[in-house]
Amino acid sequence: MPNNPFTPLQSGVLITMKLYYFPGACSLAVRIALNEAGASFDCEKVDLAEKKTESGANYLEINPKGYVPALELDNGELLTEVGALLQYVADQNGSANLLAPVGDLGRYRVLEAINYCSTELHKNFGPMFNPAVTDEEKAAAEELIGSRLALFNDQLNSGPYLFGDQFTIADAYLITILGWTQFVQMDISPWPNLGRYVGQAMGRAAVQKSMQEEGLG
């Protein structure tokens, strides 16, 4: 990690970067945002169990946190945490309209949704992926996740995406998380707007490209 985390980052058009990822993990949301923005970037898969990159590097020497995503800029800076990376990509590519400008209330609504995804959805999927937890613990986690999904289902009454017709970085994050429901065989049919939403999002060229790049499409 950089010695000074507050070093100003380059503004303007995105430069060549490297995304460290694991297929289907939350790093997929960042890849979707990068592809929506038309950014030029490299990528390298990480073995999260062994903490090794695809090229054999020690991932902990790149990102001491040991998880994905991480975004390496060509000036040597490393950014981590999915919410920060999504905001960075959007801010560097204003013309993609992935996030409203500073001062616009719409910006903070999107960031509000991203934070909710992170704290109330993303983290609560932990037990669903853990083979050591009991069936009762998984059932409790699924019930909690369902209550969170119900709120997004209600929000989707007013448009194809979370904020109407405009696809944002919050959508990139939410559809990534909804992909996990298939992996853990969680039925989302009680929330019909979510099923429609996934179908709408999966029709986007950037989402299809991202899925194919990770071997998921």
Q: Does 98 have pLDDT greater than 70? A: yes
Dist. CA 30–CA 41, nearest whole Å? 11
- pLDDT at position 6, please? 33
The mean pLDDT value for 49-77 works out to 96
**DSSP assignment of 47-96:** ETTTTEETTS-BHHHH-TT--S-EEEETTS-EEESHHHHHHHHHHH-GGG
> What tens digit of pLDDT does each residue of 1-29 get?
344 433 344 444 445 799 999 999 999 99
> What tens digit of pLDDT does each residue of 115-163 get?
999 999 999 999 999 999 999 999 999 999 999 999 999 999 989 999 9
Q: How many CB atoms lie within 10 A of CB 94?
A: 14
Q: Does 208 have pLDDT greater than 80? A: yes
The mean pLDDT value for 160-176 works out to 97
Q: Does 99 have pLDDT greater than 80? A: yes
